[in-house]
Structure 1
Amino acid sequence: MNIGELARRTGLTHSRIRFYESAGLLKTVDRRPNGYRTYPVETVLVLELIATAQRAGFSLDEIRTLLPPDLENWRHDALIEALHRKVAEIGALQTRLDQSKAQLVALIDEIEAKPNDMDCTANARRVLSNILGKEVERPTMTAGDVGRRDKIKPGRAHKTS
């Protein structure tokens, strides 16, 4: 089958198929005398396996080591071991994502708990103090800061948190 038919059957672009070939994932590609590529029917299955493995989080290097040169000769133990390893990696990633999510939700709650009579700068200090578990120092003003502070006009909209 030619690359156009292979692309139609798999939904992959010609360039993606060529990329997999150049990456060493498609090993049974023949060339006609005119230079056109021809692919055996089982290439559809190989490309579907590659796409499925990528969606599952396998890198191309991992896929390359797992794909047998011949689909009839799978290394069963290596495949099972790699699948267990990937499941463990996904579990660890889920744990890290759950922790990150919990931290962000806590931060959102802390920011949204701003007292009505507190400005954003004071709220930022309050939030940082609570997160860090210590008091956050107020920045010291220099003579140059005083001049800039005087230029802020009352009633003008300022960035808020």
Structure 2
Amino acid sequence: MKIGELSERTGLAPSRIRFYERIGLLKTVSRKANGYRDYPVEAETLLKLIVTAQQAGFSLDELTTLLPADMSNWSHSSLLESLRQKIRDIDTIQKRLAESKAQLVELLTEIEAKPVDMNCADNAKRVLSQFGLSKS
């Protein structure tokens, strides 16, 4: 199939499809005598898988190592371990985000608790000292 048809089927721009080919994610592309790319039917499935995996948080580098050269040659155990590792990575990121959010909420609460008669600079010093961030 030509790149235009593959683009239409996947919703991806031809430039994105060529990019995935250039970086080695789309490996089963052949060239016709006129130089046009000829994509197998499996390319549609692979491209949809790449997009879905990226939306799930996989980087292009991770996908390069994860995806087989031949779609019929998946390593089941490698795939499962990659998915488990990505879940662990997401858990770690969620924990860090929750900690950051808690710190920001605490900081916001302290800043909003500014006494009416205190100016912003003095309030900043007060808040910073409560968080152990002041120089004095």
Give the alignment's TM-score, normalised by structure 1: 0.81
Q: What is the 5 A alignment of 1:73-152?
A: 73-132=73-132, 136-137=135-136
CA distance in 2, matches of 1:102, 1:17: 41
CA distance in 1, matches of 2:73, 2:135: 64
User: Percent identity among equivalent residues?
Assistant: 60
> 1:89 deviation in Å?
0.4
1:25 corresponds to which residue? 25
> 1:69 deviation in Å?
1.8
1:71 corresponds to which residue? 71
> 1:16 deviation in Å?
0.7
**Unaligned 5+ runs, structure 2:** none
Structure having the higher helix fraction is 2
Is the Cα contact below 8 Å between 1:125 and 1:136 reproduced in 2? no
2:40 corresponds to which residue? 40
2:61 corresponds to which residue? 61
Over the aligned positions, Cα root-mean-square deviation in angstroms equals: 1.2
Secondary structure of residue in 1 paired with 2:70: coil
Indicate yes or no: 2:4 matched with 1:4. Answer: yes
CA distance in 2, matches of 1:69, 1:123: 60
Secondary structure of residue in 1 paired with 2:69: coil
> 1:43 deviation in Å?
0.4
> 1:35 deviation in Å?
1.0
User: Would you identify which runs of 4 or more consecutive aligned residues in structure 1 move more than 3 Å?
Assistant: none
State the number of aligned residues. 136
CA distance in 2, matches of 1:15, 1:71: 22
Give the alignment's TM-score, normalised by structure 2: 0.95
Is the Cα contact below 8 Å between 1:3 and 1:38 reproduced in 2? yes
Rg (Cα) greater in structure: 1
Indicate yes or no: 2:50 matched with 1:50. Answer: yes
Query: What letter is aligned with 2:120?
Result: C
Larger CA deviation: 59-68 vs 98-107: 59-68
Query: What letter is aligned with 1:88?
Result: R
> 1:136 deviation in Å?
5.0
